[in-house]
Structure 1
Amino acid sequence: MANARELFSLPAGPVDLCFDKNEFMKKTFSVDEFLHENRNAGSLEIIRDDLGLYLKVLRSAMIELINQDYADFVDLSANLIGLDQQIDSIVSPIEKLKEEVLSVRAALEGAMKDISDCLEQKKTLRGFKKSLQSLAKVRAALLKLESLLKPVDDNEREISPTLLERAALEAIQLQFNVKFCGEFLNQEQLDSADHWKNSLLSQMQTYFLKMLEDKDVEGLERCLRIYCTLDECRTAEEVFKAEIVSPYMNRVVSESNLQNSPQGLTGIYNQILDFVSLNMKLLLDLTKKNGKVKGYNFVVNSFWTEVERRMETNMSSIFAPGNPESFYQKYQCTLEFLERIELILEDPDEVANFKAHPQYKSFQVRWNLPVYFQIRFQEIGSNLEKVCTRELDATKFFNQQISASQFNLLQFSIALTCISNCWQEGIYLPQLFHRFIKLTLQLLSRITIWIDIAIMIEPTLPSTEQQQESVSLRLKLLATLYSDVSNLSRKIPQIVNLIHDRAPNHLALSSAQLDDLFFDNKSALATKQNRLQTIIVQELVQASIPFVKQVSDIPRLYRKTNRDVPSRCCQYMEQLLQPGKSFRERYQSMVGDERLKELLVNVYSNLTTSYFQAVEEALISVQKTEESLRRLKNLRDRNFTNQTNTTSSSSTTSTMTDDDKIRLQLQVDVIYYVQEIERIGLARGEIEKLPELVQMVEEATKIRVSSQQQSLVQS
């Protein structure tokens, strides 16, 4: 239908139609969409008229098509006459043929079923035949086993390894043929097979133990091979464990023996390992990787399983973590004991199997390492927590001597001791590496938090005499904190190296990886250092600021006092600089030259800014006062002659006025201030506002003083 629609073309219509005639041939043609798309082409009446015109065109085309193919239509109807009778004539033969085909098909299916039944019957007969043959072999094997093993049961002669080998081969044949006997094998025969197999294993056990007792290497090798032939390697291991290992371990591994042993647990482990050298040497030589017999692991399946079971049942006290020191020693002894067992195994594959053994994992779980760590955590963490919650004794702290090479505050010393304890012998266990490194980070975080608390402490001075000291107890505390924080920061690389040396080898941690773990702690300590430096700067500036205000008192010293020309600085300048000088003298070794310089630059920058403002205000005040006095003088002398004024002016210029003395005193003070700053190794350009201050007083006095002249003015 779709192909016919594609091949069919619509007849052409009038050119002025308001729609496209090809839209009627679309598979998705819809009346609603047609009207919606052509709603702008004209009104509904126009669309209706155009559709009517095109309908007439289609009718005309249809009539023309019928007229063209009329002869073919007539011929088709004529050819169909009599077709029904022809079809009826061939129905009967076709149905008959169908019945014959169905009968042949049924016959073939019957024949195929008979053949299939015969084949199945033949298969069953073959199975019966094979089962009967196997049954015959089973009976023969039972008779053979009876003939081989019965004399041994009657104790008529000693056990012969040759007979055991032959009996083992017959037992294998018996076991193989039993599987194929099917329903022909009765319970009596099954019981007989089990009886002779057990009898063989009993004889093997007797022979195995005798060879062990006689230390007969050749006989022991033949015995192990027979066990391997029977696929009873685990049976040999069980025999050795039950008859040899168990009695020995029952005597050695016990609480009473543990209490009476002079060497304690180490002595027990030595006795256990002595068993290997005394009783297992031949077995290990024969069954090790390069030995003559394969398929055995007496160390794991016989020795270790019995040792572990006895230790869990007879010496459970060693697993108690209540006493951490004793637990640590016992656990370390146990690790050495396990390592010695691994050395006995030698082969890496056997060592891996040993560690994967269920009883090995059970033994490791018995050592409650999380509880041990929790006890250590309480011991170590509580020591630091006690000193961090203890109130700082200001009296003792004020009288103590401060050292730059070691910690001055007990909190920092205890923190470092606690961190060292985490990794020292007797406490640290490699199996708890991740927990101890976490504890180390927690200890550093705790002391870092305490630093914030210590910074907020406002200690009270013990006496009035000490209150008059230039360096307060508060400043001493801050300097001490700063020194201890710096020392702790320098200790972190040592802590990282210590942890790196103590880290388990299988982790393969580099120093850089460990250093990254302490990045946050180092950043926090650096932040605390910067904060302490800022607070120290504030304290020093606050101690000096009150003396800056005395700059405003200089005009009163010279105005109408007839003082001499100033030649040295005012006394307040020494007091102004004293806090910074004292801090430098007392704490330079603690703070360090580089940090001290940075700190003093900040102190003197802040101080110079305030000093600049005070000097500027004093000069402005002097200038205003001078101008006021000049105006008053001009009013008094306005009737004088020009000559008199000239003479007076000349006299005035030849004599230094009070205002000039004030300006000169300010300059002398500034020169002394600059000298003291440069004396401690700071340049003028490093101090904010200092060059502007020097320039301001030089412009006020019209005197520029060189570095050589400064010393002359000061003297």
Structure 2
Amino acid sequence: MASADLAPPSHPPRSHTDFFGDPIDDSSPLWFKKDLFLSPDFDSESYISDLRTFVPFDTLRSQLHSHLSSLKHQLVDLINRDYNDFVNLSTNLVDVDSSVARMRAPLSDLREKIAAFRDCVQDSLVSLQNGLNQRAEAANAREVLELLLDTFHVVSKVEKLIKELPSVPADWSNGDMSTSEKNHLSNGISLQQSENESNVRETQSMLLERIASEMNRLKFYMAHAKDLPFIQNIEKRFQSATLLLDASLGHCFSDGLEHRDENAIYNCLRAYAAIDNTRNAEEIFRTTIVAPLIEKIIPHGSSGLIGVAANDELEADFQEMKQCIEKDCTFLLRISSKENSGFHVFDFLANSILREVFSAIQQGKPGAYSPGRPTEFLKNYKSSLDFLSHLEGYCTSRYAVSKFRAEPVCVDFMKQWNLGVYFSLRFQEIAGALDTELMAPSLVVVQERREDGKFPALILKQSVTLLESLRSCWGEDVLVLSCSDKFLRLSLQLLSRYTNWLSSGLHARQSGHGNAKPGAEWAISAGPEDLLYIIHDVKHLVDEVSGDYVGHVMKLLSSCPSEVLDPVKQSILQSAKSLENMVPPVIKSIVDVLVEKSVEALLQLKGISATYRMTNKPLPVQHSPYVLAILHPLKAFLEGNRAATYLDDGTKHELLQGAALEITKSYYELVSELVNVARKTESSLQRLRQGAQRRTGASSDVNDHNVSNTDKICMQLFLDIQEYGRNLAALGVDAAKIEDYQSLWQCVAPAEKQNTITL
């Protein structure tokens, strides 16, 4: 059979000492687990699907057939082994049906009894559940009834307590006694009256606190039973009681504030806190105490501005307000800030004091918020911040400070200060001033020497304006710390604008554009001496920005974390570095002018060739006169007053070396061209002369003592460059170290002096 062919081959059993051989049971492979068939949750389909992933179907079928055959053989072996017991099994099963019938009868009786008991228990359970439901409904009804009774009792109690309020002799607390009656009373009677008034206010406040506590209970009851008809019927009584309580509590609180009765105020505040009506207390304090004080400082009315204010400055007004708050408002602030008093729900600082101040400024001095006058606006803004800081000083914790700053009136007050418009105006003012100076067609010198004989730090008006603009950005009369990022960006823009002004001017100067862009004309007309001012000012600006200026900025921003300060400092230093990088291009522009003047003198050496070709001059023994004029522009420039005054030694050396290199380079180019032309001409003439001599049969011998014109020209040029090297040495430049001078020496020096430069 095919299945037999797929069965795994049989192997001989391994010995008990063969630890690394095949398993003992070699009749089945490792993947065929016989124990799985005995598992309670064995599933044939899942078992086959799992094995089919790595065992072919035919192999699996063959193995299962083999296992089935093995089981049958085992079954037969068991029957054969216990055949007697197997045969006697049928004899032991005689009269099984009668035994089953005898066992079924008691079981059926037991089942009927259990069913009857279960029905009885179920009926009892339903009856009990119904009773519990009725009990719960009764409890709920009782609870609602008790709630309604408590609500009715509280309403009646509140109305009764409110009716007791008029019986208190309030005329004492109202101060309704006439002046004539008061004058007839003695000092003892007045003192007794004051004590009686205080007692009356305290009694009133205690009664109001009690009413407020009951009203708080009443609110709770009505909130939990608001849909019941009874509650809806007493809604008007509740509202009437609320109005009477608010009126009486407001009158008592106002009276306590006017007489500074701490006990009455304390009781009233507890009453307001109990009924969750803090806004009324804050408003009463505002209208009773704060408003008259602020009215005296900033006159204003409910309809708007009463009179035209002399000015819109707030600094003096805020100082008076601080004194008034310290004198007339501290008593309430002290009471409301007591620990564990529950008065943290009140915010008299924001909703009473600041709100009234805010309203007074809006109505009495609306121009104080206008950024159209930046100087006055900044003073008022800083004064307002100082005033807010003074108010925060009355807060007893950080939480109180955070709560004060988060109040809507505080947020609205800060929104009145339009810092965005203020910065825009300052930007136009500062950047506009610098841009105006940079658009000038020429460099403007402020002063080269002060009256005391000392030299100014900056010479050019453009540089002075830049430094003033940079300082203005961080000046006390301009800077707003909350806008420090904007002023930092403006500072960097100012430095960049000045740097671009220099760059565009030098580019226009180098290109030689007659129609340079606006702001670059100065470079076309500026001479080398004028460019010295640029170098001097740039170096001073870089020192100032990298030193005191960046230190001043870091001091102002010292409260910021280091991860903020480091990028700020690096950005300023980077701008200063960009400005410093403009010094080499300016020096190059000066060098170009000096080289151009020196080249004019160098052009005279072209006459040397004509001189020795037109005449029969002997070998030269001294240098040409033009040599003295080559370095004259450079020497005159370096020895001038401006260079001596405004150039430091390092810059002077850099300028000298740059000019010497460029002049020597031009000198070499002209000499090299002249010598090459002379030698080519000499070679052509020599060939013509030799051809003529051959035609005439003359001797072509050349006298050793005869010197060619080219040699004379080279000798003259050699004497000239020697003198030129000595002139460079007089200025402090070692000509032998200049590569172009070495090439120049080798071009014209005699053969015996080619390798050694001697001046």
**In 2, distance between residues paired with 1:66 and 1:291?**
91
Q: Give the residue type in structure 1 aligned to 2:480.
A: L
Give the corresponding residue for 1:40: none
Matched, 1:570 2:624: yes
The answer to whether the Cα contact below 8 Å between 1:265 and 1:333 also exists between their aligned partners in 2 is yes
The CA deviation string for residues 232-264 of structure 1, in whole angstroms up to 9 with x for no partner, is 655433322233333554563436566344785
Query: Any residues of structure 2 matched to 1:447-526 within 5 Å, and which?
Result: 447-458=498-509, 475=528, 478-493=531-546, 494-503=548-557, 505=559, 512-526=566-580
Match of 1:304 among 333, 354, 357: 354
Is 2:136 aligned against 1:120?
yes
Query: What 5-or-longer segments of structure 2 have no aligned partner?
Result: 1-5, 12-27, 33-47, 173-195, 515-523
Moved more, 376-385 or 340-349: 340-349
Q: Distance in 2 between matches of 1:323 and 1:460?
A: 43
User: What is the Cα deviation at residue 423 of structure 1?
Assistant: 3.4
| RMSD (CA atoms) | 5.4
Change (3 A) 1:294 1:113: closer
Deviates more, 1:193-202 or 1:423-432: 193-202
Q: Which residue of 2 aligns with 1:605?
A: 661
1:219-368 matched pairs, under 5 angstroms = 220=265, 224=269, 234-249=279-294, 252-254=298-300, 256=305, 259-261=308-310, 264-288=313-337, 295=344, 296-313=346-363, 315-343=365-393, 349-368=399-418
Q: How does 1:616-627 map to 2 (within 5 A)?
A: 625=682
2:125 matched residue in structure 1: 109
Q: Measured at CA, do residues 175 and 189 of structure 1 come closer, stay the same or move farther in structure 2, by a change above 3 Å? A: farther
Q: Deviation at 1:621?
A: 7.0
C-alpha distance in structure 1 between counterparts of 2:592 and 2:325, whole Å: 75
How far apart, CA to CA, are the structure 2 residues paired with 1:180 and 1:399? 85
Take 1:515 and 1:271, find their aligned partners in 2: how far apart are those partners?
A: 41
Provide Cα deviations, 1:354-379, integer angstroms capped at 9, x if missing partner: 32221111111122221222223223
Cα deviation, 1:436-464, whole Å, max 9, x if unaligned, reads 22222222222222223312445899xxx
Distance 1:146 1:59, change over 3 A: closer
Counterparts of residues 614-653 of structure 1 (less than 5 Å): 614-615=670-671, 625=682, 652=705
Q: How far, CA to CA, are the matches of 2:70 and 2:315 in structure 1? A: 120
Distance across 2 between alignment mates of 1:227 and 1:184: 29
Structure 1 residues 82, 615: CA separation in 2 closer, same or farther (over 3 Å shift)? farther
Secondary structure of 2:667's partner?
helix
* 8 Å CA contact retained: 1:131, 1:184: no
In structure 1, distance between residues paired with 2:159 and 2:608: 135
Q: Cα–Cα, structure 1 residues 151 and 524, in superposed 2: closer, same or farther, change >3 Å?
A: same
**What letter matches 2:572 in structure 1?**
F
| 1:489-522, Cα deviation, whole Å (9 max, x unpaired) | 3342244344345548457798754331224423
Distance 1:111 1:449 in 2: 99
Give the whole-Å Cα distance in 2 for the aligned partners of 1:336 and 1:61.
98
Alignment correspondent of 1:12? 9
Q: Cα deviations across residues 305-341 of structure 1 (Å, max 9, x unaligned)?
A: 2222343355433323334344334334433443443
The alpha-carbon distance between structure 1 residues 263 and 273, as it changes in their structure 2 partners (threshold 3 A), is farther
Match of residue 429 from structure 1: 480
Could you state the TM-score of these two structures normalised by the residue count of structure 1? 0.72
| Separation in structure 1 between the aligned mates of residue 446 and residue 313 of structure 2, nearest angstrom | 51
Which residue does the alignment assign to 1:210?
255
Greater displacement, 359-368 / 245-254 = 245-254
Matched, 1:175 2:216: yes
Q: Which residue of 2 aligns with 1:47?
A: none
Measure the CA separation in 1 of the matches of 2:326 and 2:707.
Answer: 111
For residues 84 and 165 of structure 1, do their structure 2 counterparts lie closer, same or farther at Cα, with a shift above 3 Å needed? farther
Unaligned runs of 5+ in 1: 1-8, 15-20, 36-50, 462-470, 711-715
Question: Does 2:716 align with 1:671?
Answer: no
Change in Cα spacing, 1:316 to 1:126, as seen in structure 2 (3 Å) is: same
Residue correspondence of structure 1 range 379-394 to structure 2 within 5 A: 379-390=429-440, 392-393=441-442
Larger deviation, residues 252-261 vs 274-283: 252-261
C-alpha distance in 2, partners of 1:622/1:402?
54
Offset of residue 639 of structure 1: 10
C-alpha contact 1:211 1:219 (8 A) present in aligned 2: yes
One-letter code aligned to 1:532: V
The structure-2 alpha-carbon separation of the partners of 1:227 and 1:597, relative to structure 1 and needing over 3 Å to count, comes to: same
The whole-number CA distance in structure 2 between the counterparts of 1:426 and 1:225 is 47
| Aligned counterpart in structure 2 of residue 554 of structure 1, from 602, 608, 611 | 608
| Higher RCO structure, 1 or 2 (CA under 8 Å, sep 6+) | 1
Q: Does the C-alpha gap of structure 1 residues 426 and 596 become closer, same or farther in structure 2, counting only changes over 3 Å?
A: same
Q: Which residue of 2 is the match for residue 594 of structure 1?
A: 650
Once residues 672 and 294 of structure 2 are traced to their aligned partners in structure 1, the CA distance between those partners, rounded to angstroms, is 97
> Counterpart of 1:584?
638
Q: 1:541 to 1:283 in 2, by over 3 A?
A: same
Give me the whole-angstrom Cα distance separating, in 2, the residues matched to 1:123 and 1:337: 60
d(CA) in 2 for partners of 1:246, 1:397: 58
1:205 and 1:614 map into 2 onto residues whose CA distance is: 106
Distance 1:106 1:55 in 2: 57
Is contact 1:221-1:293 (8 Å) kept?
A: no
Aligned residue-pair number:
658
Q: Matched residue of 1:571: which SS?
A: coil
Percent pairwise identity: 22
Matched, 1:418 2:472: no
Give 1:151's aligned residue. Answer: 167
**Higher mean C-alpha displacement, 479-488 vs 363-372:** 479-488
